[in-house]
A = this chain, B = another copy of it.
Amino acid sequence: MDLHGGNIYKFQREGKKDILDYSSNINPLGVPKILIDGISQNFSLLERYPDINYIDLRKSIGKYNRTDFENILVGNGATEILFLYMKALNPKKTLIVSPTFAEYERALKNTDSEISYFPLKKIEKENKKYFDLDIEDLKEKSLGFDLVVICNPNNPTGSFVELSQIKELNEFLEKNKIKLFIDECFIEFIANWQNKTSNILRSENIFILRALTKYFALPGIRLGYGICYNKDIIDRINSIREPWTVNAFADLAGKIILDDREYIEKTDRWIDEERRYFISELKKIGTIEVFETNTNFILLRLKNTTSEKFLEKMLAEGILVRNASNFKFLDNTYVRIAIKDRNKNSFLLKVLKKI
């Protein structure tokens, strides 16, 4: 089974064209026009090595996050930053809040770290189902570890831990010399995220992972970044990293799209409306359990079938969804779907009701 969503190439090689990809969580507004214009006018950027220190890029990302460029690390997608952090920290024991994105584990396999998993709790409250993080329990269980990893909002559950809770957790962890790694690659889909990000804490104990992949619909460009207030960790990462891992167009993208107010406002309107609509429509379907989401994808549990059979049926209708059964603590009744534009979401709802 694939570790990730989005592998439409395999299906295309098998002759299946025109697949609607609901397995990959990308902003349906697509590539920002400002970037298309920017690239079209700057092809000669390819003829030079990018700035090996990416100063202007880091300044732009710093401005977007209201922080100094010296606290910004850039990389070839969030993946590179994740792998570098794990390698630089080289924790002996790591606790990963799960179910979650599989790459944390893969990145840790490049170190000597022992890995344990802290389970989120499935909760039902006021007719809403979601996965909840029990902070008190996590604090207790984290003792003896060197690192706690949280994806926030979490992939694939869509759940979000509020800043006050992160603050409380981090204070406890810092006191006990346990680092905190927070993946915020989906945080921009939360309204008013600037007031909810862990970046506000400016803690030396926290490392924040971000990317342009999801919110700006640019998985192909490969630009991720880290926010870090720990000079020692930044130095360690810089001492092991490879040069020029961010390509010239990713460099350009990070300099021009973060200022694109029009794209940002349009995206915020779309996700707010469409998330509400999609969730409420999905809940009307009796054969699936729908988990509340704070971001741009939704975890579903199938009541009457397995993920695999469901995938097959959906694929026959031209829709690729994410089999979520290989996430830790989930079983073969879970699937994950993206939130797309109204037309596509309506089509998916129609197909769901049919099958």
Binding site for B on A (CB under 8 A): 3-4, 6-9, 13, 21, 24, 26, 30-31, 35-36, 39-40, 43-53, 55, 76-77, 79-80, 83, 103, 110, 217-222, 240, 242-245, 247-250
Contacts and interface: CB of A to CB of B under 8 A. Distances in A.
A326 to B, nearest CB: 15
Nearest to A39: B39
A80 to B, nearest CB: 6
30 contacts: A4-B243, A6-B48, A7-B52, A8-B48, A21-B48, A24-B49, A26-B48, A30-B44, A31-B44, A31-B47, A46-B217, A46-B219, A46-B221, A47-B217, A48-B219, A48-B220, A76-B247, A77-B242, A77-B245, A79-B242, A103-B243, A219-B244, A219-B248, A221-B248, A221-B249, A222-B244, A222-B247, A222-B248, A247-B249, A249-B249
Contacts of A242: 76-77, 79-80, 83
Contacts of A48: 6, 8, 21, 24, 26, 219-220
Contacts of A219: 46-49, 244, 248
Most chain B C-beta atoms within 10 Å of own C-beta, residue among A31, A80, A221, A249: A249
A245 B52 contact: no
A51 B79 CA distance: 16
A273 to B, nearest CB: 21
A26 B248 CA distance: 15
A15 to B, nearest CB: 14
A47 B220 contact: yes
A292 to B, nearest CB: 26
